[in-house]
């Protein structure tokens, strides 16, 4: 799609915006009388920063052996019987 004339841009603006938003087109150049006049590009939306470690200290530490020991308890909860 790359370059479109002004009349085509007027009649199919929503399709052009959708193509840019979806990533199907990186940019679309709008031409007037065959000469580039404007460029349609997606807006770079800043990503929200994630805070890491929000649950740090909320749960007691668990070593690997204690984690594995929970398997029997979980199996009992699902199957309703002991090993």
* Cβ partners under 8 Å of residue 28, min gap 6: 1, 2, 3, 4, 9, 16, 19, 20, 39, 40
pLDDT of the chain, 83 residues: tens digit per residue: 689 999 999 999 999 999 999 989 999 999 999 999 999 999 987 778 878 888 888 888 888 888 888 888 888 888 887 65
- Ordered by start, the domain boundaries in the chain are 3-40
Residue-level pLDDT at 1: 63
Q: Check residue 30 and report its DSSP letter.
A: E
Contact, 28 vs 2, CB < 8 A? Answer: yes
pTM over 0.75: no
| pLDDT value of residue 8 | 94
């Amino acid at each position: 799609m790359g370059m479109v004339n002004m009349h085509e841009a007027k009649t199919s603006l929503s399709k052009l915006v959708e193509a840019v938003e979806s990533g199907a087109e990186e940019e679309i150049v709008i031409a007037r009388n065959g000469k580039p006049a404007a460029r349609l590009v997606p807006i770079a939306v800043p990503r929200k920063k994630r805070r890491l470690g929000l649950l740090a200290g909320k749960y007691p530490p668990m070593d690997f052996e204690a984690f594995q020991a929970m398997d029997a308890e979980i199996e009992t909860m699902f199957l309703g019987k002991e090993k």
